Amino acid sequence: MRAICLYLHIHQPIRYREYSIFDVGNDSNYYNDSFDSRQSNERIFKKVAEKSYHPMLNLLEANLIKHPEFKFSLSITGTWLEQAEVYDPELISQIKRMVDTGQVEIVGETFYHSLAFFHNTDEFEQQVAMHATAIKRLFNVTPQVFRNTELAYNDELAHWADSKGYTTILAEGWDKILDWRSPNHVYKPAGCQNLKLLLKNYRLSDDIAFRFSNRGWSEWPLTVPKYLSWLKDDCLRGNLINLFMDFETFGEHQWKDTGIFDFMNQLISDWLTEYENKFVTVSEAAKLEAPQDGISMPETITWADTERDLSAWNSNSMQKSAMEELYSLREKILSTQDNRLISDWRHLTTSDHPYAMCTKYWHDGDVHAYFSAYASPYEAFMYFMNVLRDLEFRIGKA
Amino acid sequence: MLGWELPPHNSGGLGVACFNMAKALSNQGADIDFVVPYQAKHPNTKFMHVLNATNLDPIHRYGGGAYTTAHLFDEIIPDLKDENLVSIREVQQEYCNYVEKYLLTNEKPDVIHAHDWLTYEAGIMAKKEFNVPLIAHVHATEFDRAGMHVGNPLIHEVEYEGLMQADRIIAVSETTKRIIHEKYHIPLSKIDVVYNSLDESYEVEDYSFNDKTYQYIESLKDQGYTIVSTVGRFTIQKGLPGLLRAASLAISKNNKLIFIFAGDGEERNSLIELTADLGISKNVIFTGFIRGKKLRDIYSLTDIFVMSSISEPFGLTALEAAHHGDVLILANQSGVSEIIWSALKYDFWDKKKLADEILSVAENPALKNSLKKNIKKEYHKISWDKVAKKCLKVYNEAMKHKGID
């Protein structure tokens, strides 16, 4: 038996606009900018919906119908759901139909796609609970498997998930941690009772997510037969291939004209032509075998950059001071019991915001490799801090 | 190479840029004859031959007519003969004649590299009469100098003719390239962008800042004031009224801001008047024209350097300010903003955004420190060596264009 565990992460942040110091105290609209502006959430969501969400969901749904053995898992952030409900509710109905087939599993996470776990445990737990509530309301399921934002994982997080009754948790299969071990097995996080650990096979995942359209890559163009042969070869070191990637890989990161949709469509069918091959959801994957080993990750590992750490979110002084000031407001914000104010504050915890302030590669001037809604990391920080000032002003009035 | 000035007889950045470029080109093996329109000694130019096209004193290279009357001129320099009182057009004619004589008597150069409109006529003559490939280097156009308004029609004509006749054009930025394309309708494919670099001697020069020299400013800084400054000629090109209006907006939110305007020019009086009208005279300091150590002192005192130009072909002062550790706020309409990433930027007309940026830097130490730290890593990323390599490439293309290998 060989199994592919396909897990797709679907997310859009709610971006704050170019919020001026002259707006502070006068205008508390942070998130709704005019449709043509650089930070228009509506424009960006609709664009990605057209390029990625609709065609890929259609492709997946058609395959679910055609192949009852086809299965996959989805994590959907709360900020995506909020926007889909307003801008394109059909997307949610379609996902609901797919979940109802029993072939699609929803993974738990924070509602706001935040890194609250590393700042404030109470806030983290509340955001996870909010997400579970939203998933129950919209899809009538309760997540049993957990993934943290950016796949940021450490032993402490595993202990938390274990104590909350999750059966499985997802993390990056980074060589430095795995050493001689393969990501193609089920593991047990060190010191946990029942929790299982699934690790991303980053080479085979990134072949699709990052390298697929790269003409400078020696393996370009990637064909289905070639990729199938890699999958089979990789099964020599364990029969579970965890392909974890952004949903937006399909149509947004890799455009339609690269052939990514045709590739995926054919891959699903061709994989299933061999009787010993199958697809599994994350819960099923964890039950394929007994844990092969215990794994400890005292330091935080993420799925980002070559460093696989949190440095893209919290390494420079702007990111640190922005997050410090943000979380220091929490008690005061919550004590107002003003839902609008609390929601405005929580939307600032989305990890995309400190990511936009990242300067790691900025002075290289490689602006094309840099996706951001802001003209520079410095501007991203400026407007963020102005929003914080207005929040403080509103606390004073409340 | 055809130029109008070289240090120490330079009035601005043009001479410095030509000097550094020629030096780097010679390091790469280029053999350079450099023609200047006056008679003077140039130390440290052993790497090339500096040729003097006229017997004029360097001060007369823009012609006597640039100053007031012959009578007044006579008083300043009594021994000056009348025939030396020439206009800029006559200086240019003399320059042209000299280049023609040079080409008749010397081996023909592989290329002629002409800097700005002042030398274009000589370049055109060389190309027409002697079939030498012409490269026109644009450090500024008349549109820049006129703040994007209509400038001197004669200069436009010379500029246009030079750009039309040139085999290749070098622009100091994408901004300048765009202006050449849009205003003179030159195809983009004929224009290469070669950025300037900071003067080499600027970085090695022995300079240290004594924080006891400017005790008043230092005491303001101790009280939490932020020092914002700008340096340049007070002309329409520099967009200074916009900076003053942004200053007024920013001061309305935070009065611990001091704006230093270093320089002089025809807009000085109207800027002082505008400052008073806006009611911010207490927060604005006009230093008058400064250079050398005093200019470096201003950069050293400054927290935020603003380049507010309506059109700035390059903007070397920004790199100088960065060298002294200033945070940069650059108008998008400046060439330097195309290559500098660790800076805040704005469109020159967007006064509110400029005010926003000044206030953010003044009030967020994390932003100020990040910008200061990161600009240090990148402000000298363009070296004169790279400039020279690019020029040589352009020379080769121009020679190919002429069928020369």
Output the domain CATH number for residue B100: 3.40.50.2000
Q: How confident is the model at residue B212 (pLDDT cuts 50, 70, 90)?
A: confident
Catalytic residues of A: 150
Q: Which residues in chain A are contacts of B344 at CB distance < 8 A?
A: 376, 378-379, 382
Cross-chain Cβ contact A382/B356 below 8 Å? yes
Say if residue B119 is in the same domain as residue B214. no
Q: Are B326 and B303 in contact (CB under 8 A)?
A: yes
Count of alpha carbons within 13 angstroms of residue A239, beta-carbon side: 14
The answer to whether A365 contacts chain B (CB < 8 Å) is yes
pLDDT at B402 (0 to 100): 73
**CB contact at 8 A, B14 and B4:** yes
Cβ separation A317–B366 shorter than 8 A: yes
Interface of B with A in 371-390 (CB under 8 A): 371, 374, 377-378
Confidence band for B77, pLDDT divided at 50, 70 and 90: very low
Residues B253, A318: C-beta atoms closer than 8 Å = no
Contacts of B342 in chain A (CB under 8 A): 359, 362-363, 378
Distance to chain A for B179, nearest Cα, Å: 23
Q: Which residue of B has its CA nearest to A361?
A: B341
| B353 contact residues in A (CB cutoff 8 A) | 18, 20
Buried b (16+ CB within 10 A) or exposed e, B260-275: bbbbbeebbeebbebb
Instruction: Encode burial over B50-64: b for 16+ CB neighbours within 10 A, e otherwise.
Output: bebbbebebebbbbb
Give pLDDT tens digits for B301-326.
Answer: 999 999 999 999 999 899 999 999 99
When CB atoms are compared, the residue of B341, B359, B370 closest to A21 is: B359
Looking at the fold, whether B339 and B357 belong to one and the same domain comes out as yes
Give the model's confidence band at B405: pLDDT under 50 very low, under 70 low, under 90 confident, else very high: low
Contacts of B355 in chain A (CB under 8 A): 21-22
Domain boundaries along the sequence of chain A: 2-295, 311-397
Backbone angles phi, psi at A85, to 5 degrees: -60, -35
Amino acid occupying residue B97: N
- Asked if pLDDT for residue B64 goes beyond 70, the answer is no
Q: Quick one: CATH architecture of A2-295?
A: Alpha-Beta Barrel (3.20)
> How far apart, in whole angstroms, are the C-alpha atoms of residue A225 and residue A271?
10
- Asked whether residue B50 falls in the same domain as residue B190, the answer is yes
Chain A 208-237, residues with CB within 8 Å of chain B CB atoms = none
Maximum Cα–Cα distance across chain B? 68
Q: Do B60 and B166 lie in a common domain?
A: yes
Cα distance from A317 to chain B (closest Cα, Å)? 5
**pLDDT at B401 exceeding the cut of 90:** no
In the sheet that holds B191-193, the strands lie side by side as B112-115, B134-138, B168-171, B191-193
Report the 10 Å Cβ neighbour count for B258: 23
The token pair that represents B10 in the structure block: 């330079």
Structure token digits, residue A194: 């029942």
User: Does B55 lie at the interface with A, CB-CB under 8 angstroms?
Assistant: no
Do residues B82 and B70 touch, judged by C-beta distance below 8 A? yes
Determine the structural domain holding residue B215 and report its residue range. 202-378
pLDDT tens-digit map of B87-121: 888 889 999 999 999 999 999 999 999 999 999 99
DSSP per-residue codes, A222-267: PPHHHHHHHHHHHGGG-SEEEEEEEGGGBTTTB-GGGTHHHHHHHH
Q: Indicate the residue of B365, B367, B377 with minimum beta-carbon distance to A382.
A: B367
Asked whether residue B6 is assigned to any structural domain, the reply reads: no
Angle at B3 between CA B2 and CA B8, to 5 degrees: 140
Name the residue facing B364 among A362, A364, A385 (closest C-beta). Answer: A385
pTM of the model: 0.89
Same domain, B174 and B39: yes
The domain total for chain B is 2
User: Are residue B245 and residue B296 in the same domain, yes or no?
Assistant: yes
- Chain B residues closer than 8 Å to A363 by CB: 341-342, 374, 377-378
Model pLDDT, residue B61: 81
Q: Are residues B60 and B74 in the same domain?
A: yes
Partner A contacted by B357 (CB < 8 A): yes
Amino acid at B136: A
Distances (CA, A) of A65 to A60, A68, A84, A232, B115: 9, 6, 24, 25, 71
B129 and B221 inside one domain = no
Residue B310 is assigned to a structural domain of this protein: yes
- Give CA separation, A6 vs A9, A72, A97, A106, A201, in Å: 10, 5, 19, 12, 11
Shared domain for B30 and B69, answered yes or no, is yes
* Measured distance CA(A27)–CA(A19) in Å, rounded: 9
- Chain B residues touching A317 at Cβ < 8 A: 366, 369-370
Does residue B48 sit within a domain? yes
Token pair of B313 as six digits: 């072909």
A363·B378 Cβ contact <8 A: yes
Whether B328 and B235 share a structural domain:
yes
Q: Are strands B304-307 and B226-231 parallel, antiparallel or unpaired?
A: parallel
Same domain, B120 and B256: no
Residues B217 and B181 in one domain: no
Cβ within 8 Å, pair B370-A359 = yes
With respect to residue B3, please indicate whether it lies within any of the assigned structural domains.
no
CA distance B35 to B52: 6
Predicted local distance difference test score (pLDDT) of residue B84:
53
- Alpha-carbon distance A383 to nearest alpha carbon in chain B (angstroms): 9
> Consecutive sets of 10 residues in chain A, 398 residues long: mean pLDDT of each?
97 97 96 92 97 98 97 98 98 98 98 98 98 98 98 97 98 92 96 96 96 95 97 95 98 96 98 96 97 94 90 94 97 96 98 92 57 90 97 92
